[in-house]
Amino acid sequence: MSRHLSLKVAACLVLAALVRAVSGQEPTLAPPKSETHAGYTQTGAYTTEITPTAGEASTGPSLGGSESSAQAPANQGISGYPSVSYPSTAYPSQGPPPEPKGPPSGPPPGIGDDQPPGLLDSFESLYHDGIEPIVDGTTEWFSEGCATTPRKWQVHGWLNPGYSWNPDDPGNNRNTPVAFNDRANEPVFNQVYAYLERRIEPDGCTWDFGARADFIYGTDRRFLSATGLELRQDNSPKWNSGNYYGIAMPQLYAEMSAPVANGLTIKAGHFYSIFGFERIMAPDSFFYSHSYARVYGMPATHTGGLLTVYLPPNRFFKRDNIVLMTGITQGWDTWGHQNKDLSWLTGFMIDAEDLGITLSGAFIAGQEPVTNLGPSYPFGNAPFVTQDRWGWNLILSSQLTDRLGLVIENVGGSQAGGVSTTINGVTDTSHAVWYGLSNYLIYEVNDMWAGALRFEWFHDQDYYRVQRTPVAGPGGFPYINHNYFAFTMGLNWRPRPNVMIRPEMRWDWADLQGNAAGGNPAGTTTSATRVFDDGSDGSQFLMSTDVIISF
C-alpha cells in the first residue's frame, strides 16, 4: 500500500513540475485561505495587501527616518504625523513591483497647498491616518514599466472646537490681533471641514488626473474669504451675513500629472497658497493659534494656475530632492478682481538629504487693490485702486536629532500706494512695508505626544497689515513704534488615531502706543492707547486648547 502511495505522490510531483514549466506559475489546488491580522490582510502565502484597520493608525516615518509603507524624503514628518499613503497593490509571487521612477508621492516637502510641507514644515494630516473614507471609489491607471497604484475618490473632514481663556477679560471679547483664536472666554467652533478629492501621484511615470473641493463652516472662514467669491469687490460679505460664523470654499481645483522629469503637475482653480510653514487646515498645524506672519504677512489662497516640476538628480544635486513651482494667479486671497489684474507666483524646495536640511521659498508679485484688507478695513468702501504688491517667504528646516527639529521662517512684503500722508491739504502716497521672523523648536516624545516652542517677531512698518491704519496727518500716524512679539508653548496629544488635542500658552506684547496728534481724523488714539485688551494694554496672556476629531 505504501508503494502505491509513493507512486501517487511521485506522479503528483511530476504533474506539478509540468504545470509550472508550462505556465510559469505555482499550481493551486484550492483557493488560498484568507487571514486577517492587525493592520493588514494576507491571502495565502503570496499576496499581501496593507490596509489599516478601522481606528488604527499606520506607522509613518519618524524624525530618524524609519521605514514606512510609503517612501518619503529623509526629513519627512514625525512618526506621530505620518504621511498620506494608499494601501499597496497586491502583487503575485513573481516578485515585487517595478521601482517607481519618480520622487516620493504627495506634494513637495517645504512647500505645499492642501498638505503640510515636509520635515517640520508642518504636521501631516491626522485625518489621513487610519481613518476610513466616507466615499471610496478606486480607479487604476496603468503604464508599462511603472508601479500600479490605486487612485481613490475620498471624502474626509474634521470637527475643530476650541476655547481661549484671557485673564484680562477684554470688553470687546476679542484677543486681537491674535488669530484664529481671536474670541476671548467663549467656546467656538473654528472649523467644521469637509473635502472631496481624487489625489494624484506625481511619480514621473504615468499620466494622472485629479480634483479637489473644500468647504468650511465656522469662525475661521473669515480668514479664508476671497474677494469675488465669499466677499464682494468692496470686501463686504457676499455669502455670509454674520460677523463670525459662516461658510467658505477655500479650494476648488482640477489637477493633472505628466511623465516629465521626475514628475510634473498642473493645477488650475482655487487653492491654498504655497506660502507659509503653518497651514490653515487645523490638522496640518502644530499650534491652535497662528503666527502674525501667517495671518498678516502672506496670502491664504490663490485663484489661477500652478505648474510644479520634480527635477531628477543631476551633476550638481546628485542626492537632493528639488522641486520648482511657477504660476499665474489673480493675486492674494482673490477669486477675481474687477480689473482682472494678474500676479506671478513662484516657489522652490531643496531637500538636502545628506545634511538633514530643507530650504523652501515662495515669491509673488503683481497688481493688488490698495484697500483689499478685508471687511474690517476702517475706511469702508474706498475707491478701487490697484498698485504693485510683492511678497516673499523663506523656510529653513533642520533635523537636529532623531526627535528634535528646528524651523526658521522669514516673511515680508511691500504695497505701493499703501500709505497715505496728508500735510497742508496735499495728500501723497508711499510704499507700505512689513516683515518678520518666526522660530519653531519641535520635539517628538512618542507617537502620542509632541511638544513645541514658537517665538516670533513681526514688524508692520506703516500699520498697513495689522492695525490697518496707514493714514498719516501732520502729526504722523495714529501710532508710534511698529513691533509685535509672541512666545508660545504647546503640546500635541493624540489619544486616538482620529483625535488630536492641542493645549497651548501664549504671551504677546507690542511696543505700539497711541499718538494723539496723528491719524486721520486726528485724535482717534491717545497716548494711553495700546494694542491688546480692547486697546488698553501693551501685552496679553492666553491659555487655549482645541480638539480635532477627524473622519
Tell me the Ramachandran region of residue 95: left when phi exceeds 0, alpha when psi lies from -120 to 50, beta otherwise.
left
Q: Are 170 and 184 in contact (CB under 8 A)?
A: yes
Strands 246-258 and 264-272 come out as antiparallel
Q: Are 198 and 211 in contact (CB under 8 A)?
A: yes
What are phi and psi for residue 502, nearest 5 degrees? Answer: -125, 80
- As given in the structure block, the three cell numbers for residue 409 are 521662517
Give the whole-angstrom CA distance, residue 376 versus residue 177. 12
Residue type, 149: T
pLDDT at residue number 356: 87
pLDDT 10s per residue in the chain (551 long)?
Answer: 444 444 444 444 444 544 444 444 444 444 433 333 333 333 333 333 333 333 333 333 333 333 333 333 333 333 333 332 323 333 233 344 444 444 444 444 333 444 433 334 433 333 333 333 333 333 333 334 455 556 689 999 999 999 999 999 999 999 999 999 999 999 999 999 999 999 998 877 889 999 999 999 999 999 999 988 998 887 788 998 878 999 999 999 999 999 988 899 999 999 999 999 999 999 999 999 999 999 999 999 999 999 999 988 776 666 668 999 999 999 999 997 766 789 999 999 999 877 889 999 999 999 988 864 433 333 344 446 788 999 999 999 999 999 999 999 999 999 998 888 777 777 778 899 999 999 999 999 999 999 999 999 999 999 899 988 787 777 788 888 999 999 999 999 999 999 999 999 999 999 998 887 766 555 567 778 899 999 899 999 999 999 999 99
Residue type, 397: S
Q: Which residues pair with 432 in a beta bridge?
A: 415
Q: Which domains occur in the chain, in start order?
A: 126-546 (2.40.160.10)
- As given in the structure block, the three cell numbers for residue 347 are 516657489
Q: Which residues pair with 388 in a beta bridge?
A: 367
DSSP state of 134: S
339: exposed, middle or buried (C-beta count within 10 Å: 0-12, 13-18, 19+)? exposed
All residues at 6 or more sequence positions from 465 whose CB lies less than 8 Å from its CB, including other chains: 296, 297, 373, 432, 434
Q: Which residues pair with 234 in a beta bridge?
A: none
pLDDT at residue number 426: 74
Give the whole-angstrom CA distance, residue 339 versus residue 147. 47
Residue type, 400: L
pLDDT at residue number 519: 60
pLDDT at residue number 374: 38
pLDDT at residue number 61: 30
Cβ count near 531 (within 10 Å): 23
Q: Are 416 and 470 in contact (CB under 8 A)?
A: no
pTM higher than the cut 0.85: no
